[in-house]
Amino acid sequence: MNIDVFLTQFQAKGLETCFHDRHINPQIYAGLNGVNWSLKDYEARGGYQALRKVLGIGSGTPMTQDEVIAVVKESGLRGRGGAGFPTGLKWSFMPRQFPGQKYLVCNSDEGEPGTCKDRDILQHNPHIVIEGMAIAAYAMSISVGYNYIHGEIFQTYERFEAAMDEARAAGYLGDRILGSDFNFQLHAAHGFGAYICGEETGLLESLEGKKGQPRFKPPFPASFGLYGKPTTINNTETFAAVPWIIRNGGQAYLECGKPNNGGTKIFSISGDVERPGNYEIPMGTPFAKLLELAGGVRGGRALKAVIPGGSSSPVIPAELMMSLTMDYDSIAKEGGSMLGSGAVIVMDDTRCMVKSLQRLSYFYQHESCGQCTPCREGTGWLWRMVDRIENGQGRPRDLDMLDSVAGNIMGRTICALGDAAAMPVRGMLKHFRHEFEHHITHKTCMVGAYV
Ligand SMILES: Cc1cc2nc3c(=O)[nH]c(=O)nc-3n(C[C@H](O)[C@H](O)[C@H](O)COP(=O)(O)O)c2cc1C
Ligand code: SF4
């Protein structure tokens, strides 16, 4: 089925993705309607003006690489892939004088359960990513880039290829871009759906045609990346934020959000809400407002808990969540969790936390690449223990053992998938231990999820 027809049907059912008027001051999703993805539409929205500004087209005064990086630093943009690392700082790590090939990589793997924002950007606004990547490449003196796109969204990969063809034909990609001395060749690659290929060094291995197993770090990609060359990797949404920043200035972007948390952020809200979908709102917006935009808890039920930043972020109980704002600092410092990729999973009072954790733990043991023992063995242990508690075969000592196994995984693995598997376990035990105890003692569930 044609993707546009499919999306129209999707919307007709009331299941919206990003085509609604409930964003707040959107920058990336502004004006999208599902069919206006092409170059002429993007240019009509002011597209490629930022690249022109950087290259000095029209003004005759190109920005220096240092100036571009300084604006991105000033903006307070933090990586949207999960860790929230400051983007301008990351760009400054690239050894620009390195004499050999350097690479720029866009991480569009988007495998974190609950996250569905990058595919909307690529499908409906692909040129914003191309423009952001071209600016990043200019700033870091890079001439070759790749966009690694999740394997299960092949139509999106084809859309991105079509957009790159348009950009090449118009002189926005390739040699001597817009008549300048700047060359940037961009290519797309697709994975095959493994979550671990979203981890940046697993992604690089996969891009090189090998099994997508993460590399030990250091060395970090800035010095030893794709094919062993200096490489900068950013998330799709991170690159998509860049054109607005260059056009409007770093300070303006920072002021859209809150200090240390600049700009807007796309939140993929799912679970027990009336209107699941992607919502672009300023950083620092209260969670209560986001919930309201999403139509509130489904059926008017009570909010029980929220997983605020994708499945690896520890769960936050309702009362605490309702007091938080949606930004890296509030969710981490006050909520004890992580903003992560911005996938907000809402749970109402019918949700059993044991059942929920059983599902999450299954995912992580399934996706472990198996390289390191604590993750390979530990994720299986976690899942088997939660599974037996859920099935009425839990033992009183299981809860301490769950905590101990989680603790033995954390910080002892090659990549952060181990931590990602352990953190939800610890979060659930911290806030909802009584539900696990009830399952063990009474062999039944204390909430009405199954009635
Ligand atoms: C198991 C695992 C999966 C990840 N998956 C993704 C992903 O799908 N997309 C992404 O951008 N970052 C993902 N990351 C984070 C990347 O390793 C990397 O930090 C990110 O792409 C950097 O981009 P940013 O600085 O723009 O956030 C993942 C990390 C881990 C440990
Ligand atoms: S932590 Fe897990 S997924 Fe990451 S490298 Fe080790 S075994 Fe592989």
User: How, if at all, do strands 343-348 and 303-307 pair?
Assistant: antiparallel
Split at pLDDT 50, 70, 90, the class of 216 is very high
Band (451; pLDDT cuts 50, 70, 90): very low
Q: What is the pLDDT of residue 173?
A: 98
Residue whose CB lies within 8 A of the most ligand 2 atoms, among 373, 379, 417, 423, for a mutation test: 417
Q: Is the CB–ligand 2 distance for residue 410 below 6 Å?
A: no
367 CA: nearest ligand 2 atom: 3
Ligand 2 atom nearest the C-alpha of 375 is 2
- What is the share, in percent, of the chain residues with pLDDT greater than 70? 96
282 and 255 in contact (C-beta within 8 Å)? no
Ligand 1, atom nearest to 367 Cα: 1
Q: How confident is the model over 89-120, as pLDDT tens digits? A: 999 999 999 999 999 999 999 999 999 999 99
For the sheet with 264-271, list strands across it.
277-282, 264-271, 343-348, 303-307, 316-317
Tell me if 196 CB under 6 Å of ligand 2. Answer: yes
Of 122, 152, 200, the one to substitute when testing ligand 1's pocket (max ligand atoms within 8 A of C-beta) is 200
Ligand 2 near 418 CB (within 6 A): yes
Residue 371 Cβ contacting ligand 2 at under 6 Å: yes
Ligand 1 pocket test: which of 28, 107, 129, 313 has the largest number of ligand atoms within 8 Å of its C-beta? 107
Q: 233-247 as b/e, with b when 16 or more CB fall inside 10 Å? A: bbbbbbbbbbbbbbb
Find the 225 Cα to ligand 2 centroid distance in Å.
Answer: 18
Lowest-confidence segment of 14-28, 274-288, 354-368 by average pLDDT: 14-28
Q: What is the pLDDT of residue 446?
A: 87
Average pLDDT, the chain: 94
Q: Is the CB of 376 under 6 A from ligand 2?
A: yes
Q: Is 79 in the pocket of ligand 1 (CB under 6 A)?
A: yes
Q: 414 C-alpha vs ligand 1 centroid, how far in Å? A: 14
Nearest to 383 by CA among 417, 344, 355: 355
pLDDT at 8: 53
Residue nearest to atom 6 of ligand 2 (CA): 372
Residue 68 Cβ < 6 Å to ligand 2: no
367: Cβ below 6 Å to ligand 1? no
C-alpha to C-alpha distances, 90 to 101, 196, 412, nearest whole angstrom: 18, 22, 25
Q: Is the CB of 375 under 6 A from ligand 2?
A: yes
pLDDT for the residue numbered 447: 86
Question: For residue 207, is pLDDT > 50?
Answer: yes
372 lines ligand 2 (CB under 6 A): yes
Banded model confidence at residue 399, pLDDT cuts 50, 70, 90: very high
Rounded to the nearest whole angstrom, what is the distance from the C-alpha of residue 81 to the centroid of ligand 1? 5
pLDDT digits (tens, 9 = 90+) for 340-360: 999 999 999 999 999 999 999
- Report the pLDDT value the prediction gives residue 1, as an integer from 0 to 100: 53
Predicted pLDDT at 272: 96
With a 6 Å cutoff on the Cβ, whether 420 touches ligand 1 is yes
Average of per-residue pLDDT across 423-427: 95
| Closest C-alpha residue for ligand 2 atom 8 | 369
Torsion over CA of 335, 337, 341 and 346, rounded to 10 degrees? -70
197 CB-near residues (< 8 Å, 6+ apart): 109, 111, 148, 191, 203, 206, 212
371 Cα to the center of ligand 1, angstroms: 18
> What's the gap in Å between 85 CA and the centre of ligand 1?
11
CA of 133 to the centre of ligand 2 (A): 29
How far apart (Å, rounded) are the C-alpha atoms in residues 381 and 248? Answer: 50
Query: From the CA of 330, how far away is ligand 1's center (Å)?
Result: 21
Interval 2-15: pLDDT, tens: 555 555 555 545 45
Burial of residue 397 (CB within 10 Å: 0-12, 13-18, 19+) is: exposed
Average pLDDT over residues 28-57: 96
Reply yes or no on whether the pLDDT at 61 is more than 50: yes
Classify 79 in phi/psi space as left (phi over 0), alpha (psi -120 to 50) or beta. Answer: beta
Residue bearing the bigger pLDDT, 112 or 172: 172
User: How far does residue 47's CA lie from ligand 1's centre (Å)?
Assistant: 26
pLDDT at 371 over 70: yes
369 CB within 6 A, ligand 2: yes
Which of 205, 366, 412, 414 should be mutated for ligand 2, with most atoms under 8 A from CB? 414
